[in-house]
Amino acid sequence: MTYKTKGTCSSQIDFDLKDGKVYNVRFTGGCNGNLKGIGALVEGQDARDVINRLEGTTCGFKSTSCPDQLAKALKEALNQ
């Protein structure tokens, strides 16, 4: 799935969702090393667990963050 982010330095998140688990998370833009780390940490994890951990995370003065946007993307994917 491809998700266009809103309000973050990254502009897009690509990932696969198989049997409710998250795979191959790739961010376009943003803090490269940190986002690769997030992708590695959530690899193979249950999407609902990832949402519970990341949803609501903010970045500086922003009301969202790349992890929060990943949670939103996963929610959207689960609802399709």
Query: Quick one: angle between helices 47-54 and 66-78, nearest 10?
Result: 140
Give me the pLDDT at residue 59, please: 96
Q: Total structural domains in the chain?
A: 1
Measure the CA angle with vertex 52, ends 40 and 5; round to 5°: 65
Which residue segment(s) compose the domain that 48 sits in? 1-77
Query: What pLDDT score was predicted for residue 43?
Result: 98
Q: Which residues contact 36 (CB under 8 A, 6 or more apart)?
A: none
Please give the model's pTM, rounded to 2 decimal places.
0.96
- What confidence score (pLDDT) does residue 62 get? 96
DSSP 39: H
Integer Rg of the chain from CA? 11
Q: Output the tens digit of pLDDT for each of the chain's 80 residues.
A: 999 999 999 999 999 999 999 999 999 999 999 999 999 999 999 999 999 999 999 999 999 999 999 999 999 999 99
